[in-house]
Amino acid sequence: MAEVLVYVDHVDGAVRKPTLELLTLARRIGEPVAVALGNGAAGTAAALAEHGAVKVLTHEAAEYADYLVVPKVDALQAAYEAVSPAAVLVPSSAEGKEIAARLALRIGSGIITDAVDIEAGDEGPVATQSVFAASFTTKSRVIKGTPVITVKPNSAAVEAAPAAGAVEALSVSFSEKATGTKITGRTPRESTGRPELTEAAIVVSGGRGVNGAENFSIIEALADSLGAAVGASRAAVDAGWYPHTNQVGQTGKSVSPQLYIANGISGAIQHRAGMQTSKTIVAVNKDSEAPIFDLVDYGVVGDLFDVVPQLTEEIKARKG
C-alpha cells in the first residue's frame, strides 16, 4: 500500500489533536508515515503508533526552534525524498500552510489548503473545502505531482488504530536558506486551562454586546460550565476586551465545534467565515434582526446579561 506522509504538530513531544485527526484521514488513502521534528520528536512515537502511524521519522536540531519555517521545509523534503509518498498531509495552522506550500513548490506539486475532508479517489485523493465564508463547498484534486494537502482541525474523528510506529532517524541537511529568518525571542502563550479554541468540542463566544473586558467573566463562566473554549468577535478583540488569540473569524481562528454559542455577536460575514461550519449554532442577541439568527439552531432574543448567567446556573444545576 502507498505511504502517506503526515507532518506532526507537537509541543515538546505532546502530539496535538489535529495531527491525530490527520492520521484518520491518511489511513483512507494509504499507510501513514509520520514526520516529527524538533525538541521531543521521538516522544511523539507512542501516540502516533496508537493512531495508525506505521513509521515515525524523527529529527531533532536546534534549527527548528531558532529559525522560521525553512528548516522544517528542508526536513519534510528529506522525508518526501526518502519515502516517495502518495500524498503529504499537514495540519492547517498558519505555519503548517507555509511549510506545505514551500514543499509543494520544491517538489513540483500542487497544494490544497484548509481541507475539511479527504477521500480516496480513482485519480488520487479528493479534498473538500469550505469557501466564501463557508457559503460554498468544493471538491478539488491536485493534478500535478504528489498531492500536498493541509487539513483544518476538527475535520475527522480521532480513531485508535494501533500500528508499528517504528521510529527511524531522518537524515536532514539544511539548505543555505534555512537560517535566513532568525527567531530572536519567544514568549509562550499562557495556558488558561481551557481547551484549545480550534480543537474544542464547544466554543462560547462574546462580541461587542459583552460591553467591557470585565464582563467577559460571564462568558468564561458559561464556557467553564460546559468545559468549552472561549472565543471573541473582532469587535471585542479590537476593543481590547479579549486577546487576539481568541478571535474567531476570517482573520482569527476558524472553528468547527459540535456546539458554538454566540453572545452579543451580530454575525458579520467575516465572523461567519470562522464558525459557520459548526455543527450546532446557538445565539443570544437582543436584536431579533441580527444576521446571526439566520444561522442558528436555537436563538434567544434577549439581553445576554440576563440570559447567559441564568443559562450557566441552569447548566450547573442540571450537572449537579
Ligand X SMILES: Cc1cc2nc3c(=O)[nH]c(=O)nc-3n(C[C@H](O)[C@H](O)[C@H](O)COP(=O)(O)OP(=O)(O)OC[C@H]3O[C@@H](n4cnc5c(N)ncnc54)[C@H](O)[C@@H]3O)c2cc1C
Residue stretches of the annotated binding site for FAD = 208, 233-234, 247-251, 264-271, 285
First to last CA, the chain: 51
Residue with cell 509543494: 104
* Binders in 188-227 for ligand X, by CB under 6 A: 207-209
- Beta carbon of residue 35, minimum distance to another protein (angstroms, whole number): 18
Number of residues written out for the chain: 320
Q: Is 39 in the site for ligand X (CB under 6 A)?
A: no
CB 11 within 8 A of CB 39: no
Q: Is 24 in the site for ligand X (CB under 6 A)?
A: no
Alpha-carbon dihedral sign for residues 43, 49, 50, 52: positive
Q: Is 294 in the site for ligand X (CB under 6 A)?
A: no
Q: Is 295 in the site for ligand X (CB under 6 A)?
A: no
Q: Looking at 39-47, 51-59, 188-196, 231-239, which segment touches ligand X (CB under 6 A)? A: 231-239
The residue from 247, 277, 278, 312 that contacts ligand X (CB under 6 A) is 247
Distances (CA, A) of 41 to 60, 64, 128: 6, 11, 30
Q: Is 270 in the site for ligand X (CB under 6 A)?
A: yes
Nearer to another protein, 84 or 135 (CB): 135
- Record the cell numbers describing residue 252, joined without a space: 482569527
Q: Looking at 57-65, 152-160, 191-199, 243-251, which segment touches ligand X (CB under 6 A)? A: 243-251
- Beta carbon of residue 92, minimum distance to ligand X (angstroms, whole number): 16
Binding partner of residue 236 among another protein, ligand X, none, CB under 5 to 8 Å per kind?
Answer: ligand X
Task: List phi, psi (to 5°) of 120.
Answer: -75, 140
- Beta carbon of residue 24, minimum distance to another protein (angstroms, whole number): 21
- Beta carbon of residue 73, minimum distance to ligand X (angstroms, whole number): 27
Binding partner of residue 207 among another protein, ligand X, none, CB under 5 to 8 Å per kind?
Answer: ligand X
Q: Identity (one letter) of the amino acid at 232?
A: A
Q: Residues with Cβ < 8 Å from 204, sequence gap 6 or more?
A: 219, 222, 223, 226, 228, 229, 230, 231, 261, 263
Q: What is the distance between the alpha carbons of residues 223 and 218, in angstroms, rounded to a whole number?
A: 9
- Record the cell numbers describing residue 175, joined without a space: 539548505
Closest by CA position to 111, among listed 122, 99, 120: 99
The residue from 50, 234, 241, 311 that contacts ligand X (CB under 6 A) is 234
Residue 218's SS3 state is helix
Q: What is the distance between the alpha carbons of residues 79 and 169, in angstroms, rounded to a whole number?
A: 10
- Beta carbon of residue 240, minimum distance to ligand X (angstroms, whole number): 13
The 8-class DSSP code of residue 143 comes to -
Minimal CB distance residue for ligand X: 249
The residue from 252, 261, 278, 299 that contacts ligand X (CB under 6 A) is 252
Binding partner of residue 81 among ligand X, another protein, none, CB under 5 to 8 Å per kind?
Answer: none
> Where along the sequence are the contacts to ligand X (CB under 6 A)?
207-209, 233-236, 247-252, 264-266, 268, 270-271, 274, 284-287, 290, 303-305
